[in-house]
Amino acid sequence: MAAARQDLIDRLVREFDWHDPEYTPDVAQDVNREVREQAAVTYTAAHGGLWVLSRHADVRAALKDHKTFSSGSGVFYPRAAGMPKFSPIEFDPPEHGELRALMAPPLHNEEVRRLEPRIRTLATELIEPIVERGYGDFSAELANPFAIGVLALTIGLSEQAQGRVRELTSNLWKHLSKDSEADSFWPQFRELLAEEVRDARANPGDFYISRLANAEIDGEPISDERLHSVIVSLCIAGHQTTLNTLSRMLWHLAGNPELQHRLREEPDLMSVVGDETMRRWCPTDRFTRFTTREVTIDGTVIPSGSRVVLLLDAANRDPAKYPEPEEFSLDRGNSHQHLSFGFGIHHCLGASLARLEFRTVLRELAQHPVYHLTEEPDRHFENGRHIVFDRVPIRFAERPTHG
């Protein structure tokens, strides 16, 4: 069994392809580690030829150097024809800056602080029924509705959109890299976005989508195409990373009651848990870039016009940056320097909101008995990069009785 697994890992290192069906989350972390240990730059013939960067310093430098490592040709690869680019992550300056400015208002720190009481209330409303029952699924009953609910509070999604955004996101990732055309998944998502825009224009209100849909740039309304690109990006990025990280974080805590006790005794560490979770288990395993010039890294020349894979998972577990990187530790002091939120001009706009979401859930759960994992969940990739839990089944310990 061990020999067969090593043969599989060796093959996937040689033929690195994150869309290979045998490249599962459990196998991937071993493959990614060996890719990183093999060389600073590796090459794979998959998908027409790709260069892979996997060490923290190199991936960080590439994320920072947006002029050399361009996002303008798309960061998701391969890609079905007809799928519009995501804003602002698949644009270069100056358009990137214009789009980022459109998307930033609901994610400013003061807006996040304003929403905090409502976010706490949402967490309480989702957690209390599970506690009262004594058991439940932290993925389906907490992580998913919480991430979608906070997204709705932030940008003003309708109830209809809240009910469909997760399904449509999963369908998009299922087809984006496999289909030649986007006809099987994008029209459904586009129509949902169009309905949100139409409703916001017909019934304007004090929420982000309404302000965006009714705004003008240089005296002209924002085009529907641009509106759809902005809103779909907020919808997907606004719930996917949070959902995946919360599921992983709660899975890990449910398997480590002693860590739950420590958080109760040292509540300041709750601010570290989300970042260490994102460092140890990157929720967005990789992005790609396209070189605008020839570049040399550690003696290897990457030609101009090359597709480059930035292997975030491997970079976040680089021992040169994080000693004993496979260990989950709240005492590192530099967990927040992980690359899961990106770096440079594409650093995640919603990072502050996501961190607030992680802290809020942990603080609410700390008011209740310790919870235990009752069964090991299955994990799979969406689009070869998002690690998704099928469930996180838990049971709460009984409260001690006093008499």
- Residues 119 and 132: their CA atoms lie apart, in Å, by 20
Beta strands in 46-168 (DSSP E): 50-53, 69-70, 135-137
Average pLDDT over residues 285-314: 97
Average pLDDT over residues 271-278: 97
The reported pLDDT for the residue numbered 198 is 95
Per residue in 90-126, pLDDT (tens digit) is: 999 999 999 999 999 999 999 999 999 999 999 999 9
- Structural domain boundaries enclosing 313: 2-396
CATH number at residue 213: 1.10.630.10
Instruction: Judge whether 304 and 296 are in contact, CB under 8 Å.
Output: no
Q: Please indicate, yes or no, if residue 155 is contained in any of the structural domains.
A: yes
Per residue in 15-70, pLDDT (tens digit) is: 999 999 999 999 999 999 999 999 999 999 999 999 999 999 999 999 999 999 99
The reported pLDDT for the residue numbered 399 is 62
Which amino acid is located at 64 in the chain?
K
Q: Please indicate, yes or no, if residue 317 is contained in any of the structural domains.
A: yes
In the numeric block, which tokens belong to residue 169?
Answer: 């996101």
pLDDT above 70 covers a percentage of the chain that reads: 99
List 301's β-bridge partners, or say none.
296
Q: Please indicate, yes or no, if residue 278 is contained in any of the structural domains.
A: yes
Higher pLDDT, 383 or 232: 232
Q: Please indicate, yes or no, if residue 402 is contained in any of the structural domains.
A: no
DSSP sequence for 180-227: SBGGGTHHHHHHHHHHHHHHHHHS--SSHHHHHHT-EETTEEPPHHHH
- Secondary structure element (H or E) that encloses residue 235, with its range: helix 224-254
Neighbouring C-beta atoms of residue 59, cutoff 10 Å: 27
pLDDT band at residue 385 using 50, 70 and 90 as cut-offs: confident
Length of the chain: 403
The reported pLDDT for the residue numbered 400 is 47
Q: Please indicate, yes or no, if residue 401 is contained in any of the structural domains.
A: no
Number of compact structural domains in the chain:
1
| Arithmetic mean of pLDDT over the chain | 95
The reported pLDDT for the residue numbered 401 is 45
pLDDT at position 403 over 60: no
- Residues 373 and 378: their CA atoms lie apart, in Å, by 13
Instruction: Judge whether 141 and 130 are in contact, CB under 8 Å.
Output: yes
The reported pLDDT for the residue numbered 218 is 82
pLDDT at position 189 over 70: yes
pLDDT at position 398 over 80: no
The reported pLDDT for the residue numbered 1 is 65
